[in-house]
Amino acid sequence: MSPVEILGYRPEWRHHFEQFNKAWLEEYFSVEPIDRWVLENPEEAILKGGGEILFARLDGRIIGAVALKYNEAGVLELIKMAIDKPFRGLGAGKKLCQAAIRKAAEMGAPKLILYSQTRLPAAIAIYRKLGFREIPLDASDFSYERANIKMELELEAMRTRGY
């Protein structure tokens, strides 16, 4: 098996972004209207506003995706990280998240936030391992009904360390 490659957005991979994310959402929760809109319209929802979508490829096959999106407050948010189920547990999620953190730092974001759910312990463990820390949710943090944890990673210190 060759190493996992991380690649930028290509329109022909768009369906993977939608498929992988809908699969895990349906497995654990439900696809909310905001999810459906973002997944079915990634160019408008993410890329048009200056965000990025990254893909993980293994042996020529797309196996995962993640996005960086500016929220309404102008803060960069890590969203829609998904690995195709047969490829979970191989380290692709961690590698994809590391690449997203590097990309966020390159974009000049002072911090990166994410919303998750404590029913996803493997994802939470990756985030913690990569330096995200839990911060309080507030009234403006409820874009997703399922979110019960908010995490933040300060990127300025990472840039000075050459992450």
Give residue for tokens 């905001």.
Answer: 34
Per-residue pLDDT of the chain (163 residues; tens, 9 = 90+): 679 999 999 999 999 999 999 999 999 999 999 999 999 999 999 999 999 999 999 999 999 999 999 987 778 999 999 999 999 989 999 999 999 999 999 999 999 999 999 999 989 999 999 999 999 987 665 566 778 899 999 998 665 655 5
Q: How far is CA 95 from CA 44, 101, 129, in A?
A: 26, 10, 12
**Coil, strand or helix at 81:** strand
Q: Are residues 75 and 104 in contact, defined by beta-carbon separation less than 8 angstroms?
A: no
Q: Kindly give, in sequence order, each residue whose CB lies less than 8 Å from that of residue 114, ignoring residues fewer than 6 positions away.
A: 77, 78, 79, 127, 132, 150, 151, 152
Query: Which residue ranges make up each domain of the chain?
Result: 5-161
Residue 161 has what pLDDT?
59
Q: Are residues 144 and 34 in contact, defined by beta-carbon separation less than 8 angstroms?
A: yes
Q: How far is CA 149 from CA 9, 13, 55, 117, in A?
A: 28, 29, 25, 6
CATH of domain 5-161: 3.40.630.30
Q: How far is CA 157 from CA 43, 105, 111, in A?
A: 30, 10, 10
* Token representation of residue 81: 């990280």
Q: How far is CA 70 from CA 17, 52, 97, 114, 128, in A?
A: 18, 10, 17, 11, 22
